[in-house]
Amino acid sequence: MNLRAVRAIYLFEMNRTWRTIAQSIVAPVVSTVLYFVVFGGAIGSRITEVDGVSYGTFIVPGLIMLSVLTQSVANASFGIYIPRFTGTIYEVLSAPITFFEIVLGYVGAAATKSIILGLIILGTASLIVPLQVAHPFWMMLFLVLTAVTFSLLGFIIGIWADSFEKLQVVPLLVITPLAFLGGSFYSINMLPPFWQTVTLFNPMVYLISGFRWSFYEIADVSLEVSLGMVTLFLVVCLLMVRWIFKTGYRLKG
Amino acid sequence: MMETIISVSQLSKTYAGGFQALKAVDLEIEKGEIFALLGPNGAGKTTLIGIICGILNPSEGSVSVGGHDIIEDFIKTRSMIGLVPQELTTDTFETVWTTVTFSRGLFGKKADPKHIEDLLKKLSLWEKKDSRIMALSGGMKRRVMIAKALSHEPKILFLDEPTAGVDVELRKDMWEVVKVLRESGVTIILTTHYIEEAEEMADRIGVINNGEIVLVDAKTELMRKLGTKQLTIELQQPLDRIPAALSSHDLELAAEGTQLVYTYDTQAERTGITTLLNELYQAGIKFKDLSTSQSSLEDIFVNLVKRPS
């Protein structure tokens, strides 16, 4: 195992984060605070409790997930797309490093960044609304699994994309809508029965539900199902990355 | 006895679009030599280098580096190789120091600030070590790329058109660095358009065209071919044949007997020109003009690559 290479990529990517600290960390925190003000404060004050929790408190896990999902995809897709775009990828491809190590470096850095971001948002939220975390271990587990899974997805998107437009399309047209419709702002029990069934095809529902359970012990689907779905999604992404590297898809002519 | 460090065997590459960039190429690079690969644009130079370094997948054939297969044992082969690609591709926002240190780590070498410092000094980059790469000139960026390739102390260095678009001073600096590297035992493979560069630096020269190696020869061998000159003597009266008195010289009749062409070796101690002219005078052959011409490496090269394939 070329640990020095993994470390080099990881530190290089983290370095990029610190250099672009404003857009990496501050911007998502600001937008999350805006969500709290609008949905939690202004609108939320007129909504009664959801599943026994005040609305402002209820949306905290969903908001954290929304940011972690979108930022994981954005970080990882940019991390690998930029070297492809500028051509500096030649060095990584010519280095004595396995594909697994490359992924570990890039995805590890992207996931680290979103986990830090998630925790910052959690901290920020705790200043605004009353919060409790019933199961810290499960909360961290869901946070880490989600960050890793969606960083892998971002990595795949960054390899698949051959233009900046494509790089934006999936996050904008797929990830964000699914996260919004996945129960970030509501319990799916609030939907008509037909839409409740449709919603179950949205993988985000399981992530958000499991994550919310770790806070308030309220969930739309059972914990086991949530965990199973997250793991399944992780495995699918891993298999796709493995295929990409085996075939050299979009990386090697 | 020379030791082979890179062995390319029946290597072919066809791109997805159907373009065949390499056609069953065989090539052996010897340890410690400077090998120049000459060829026009699109000849397959960069493709060949790309495959050896692991950036491109080969379609057919095999390559071994230091006795290891580049696919099976890529960790071993790539550790030995440093690559300076043709395009100036750099991390614009990084500093010189971080980017060169990154390269060393990427190749799995233990951090060695002293080595990086020496390298940057040798390449006249030390004053710029904390500058962002985007603030550097093109020539400086080229030096950074060389520093990156040398950061992990490779045994083999590929320089793909290293002096394209580089000023004379930097070119000279670069050749100094190459010479020092060669003295330390590094094998160097370079591609170039500048024939004088190949002449100046290389031990052996390979010519590639249309994906095929047209010729591989020691530079001295090519220089010997280059070293012949021709003296053309314009005669006042055409000759039917070369007079017996002149048969000891390497002479040919040309232009329907109006020209005598004498081929001689410029490297030889005696060119034989004085004797020939004396003997022409004694044989009563009068001439109106004299001219000499020399086939350059460039002529050889142009002839080789223009030959219909």
Mean pLDDT of the B205-230 span: 82
For CA atoms B146, B148, B149, B155, the dihedral sign is positive
Q: Within a 13 Å sphere around the CA of A175, how many CA atoms are in the beta-carbon half?
A: 24
Contact present, A215 and A134 (Cβ < 8 Å): yes
Q: Which residues of chain B lie closer than 8 angstroms to A252, CB-CB?
A: 55-57
Please give the pLDDT value at position B296.
64
Residues ≥6 apart with Cβ < 8 Å to A191? A199
Instruction: State how far residue A8 is from chain B, nearest Cα, in angstroms.
Output: 5
Mean pLDDT of the B191-215 span: 85
CB pair distance less than 8 Å for A97 and B15? no
Q: DSSP letters along A41-55, please?
A: IIIGGGS--BTTB-H
Of the listed ranges A119-128, B46-55, B297-306, the least confidently predicted one is B297-306
Mean pLDDT score of chain A, rounded to an integer? Answer: 89
Domain ranges of chain A: 3-247
Please give the pLDDT value at position B308.
53
Side chain identity at residue A19, one-letter code: R
Strand order in the sheet with B81-84: B81-84, B156-160, B187-192, B34-38, B204-209, B212-218
Whose tokens are 């009266």? That residue is B237
Q: For the segment B277-292, what is each residue's pLDDT rounded down to a tens digit?
A: 888 888 888 888 988 8
Residue A188 pLDDT > 90: no
Single pTM value for the model: 0.83
Q: Smallest Cβ distance to A96: which of B56, B78, B89?
A: B78
Instruction: Give B4-223's CATH code, choosing from 2.60.120.260, 3.30.450.20, 1.25.60.10, 3.40.50.300.
Output: 3.40.50.300
Q: Smallest Cβ distance to A88: which of B54, B89, B105?
A: B89
Whose tokens are 């026994």? That residue is A52
Q: For the segment A8-56, what is each residue's pLDDT rounded down to a tens digit?
A: 999 999 988 888 887 777 887 888 888 888 877 777 778 778 888 888 8
Residue scoring higher pLDDT (B240 or B54): B54
For chain A, the residues whose C-beta falls within 8 A of a C-beta of chain B are 2, 4-5, 7-9, 11-12, 15-16, 19, 86-88, 90-98, 248, 252-253
Contact present, B217 and B33 (Cβ < 8 Å): no
Instruction: State how far residue A12 is from chain B, nearest Cα, in angstroms.
Output: 7
In terms of average pLDDT, the best of A106-120, A171-185, A209-223 is: A106-120
Closest by CA to B81, choosing from B60, B101, B108, B102, is B108
Please give the pLDDT value at position B129.
94
Residue scoring higher pLDDT (B96 or B238): B96
Q: For the segment B75-121, what is each residue's pLDDT rounded down to a tens digit?
A: 999 999 999 998 888 888 899 999 999 999 999 999 999 999 999 99
Closest by CA to A107, choosing from A153, A170, A163, is A153
Please say whether the structural domain B227-306 has been given the CATH code 2.60.60: no
Q: ipTM of the assembly?
A: 0.86
Q: Which residues of chain A lie closer than 8 angstroms to B90, CB-CB?
A: 86, 88
Residues ≥6 apart with Cβ < 8 Å to B110? A4
Q: For the segment B117-135, what is each residue's pLDDT rounded down to a tens digit?
A: 999 998 889 999 999 999 9
CB pair distance less than 8 Å for B91 and A93? no
3-class DSSP state of B61: strand
Residue B309 pLDDT > 60: no
Element (H, E) at B34: strand B34-38
Confidence of residue B227 (pLDDT cuts 50, 70, 90): low
Q: Smallest Cβ distance to B108: which of A5, A90, A93?
A: A5
Domain ranges of chain B: 4-223, 227-306
Q: For the segment B179-200, what is each residue's pLDDT rounded down to a tens digit?
A: 889 999 999 999 887 777 787 8
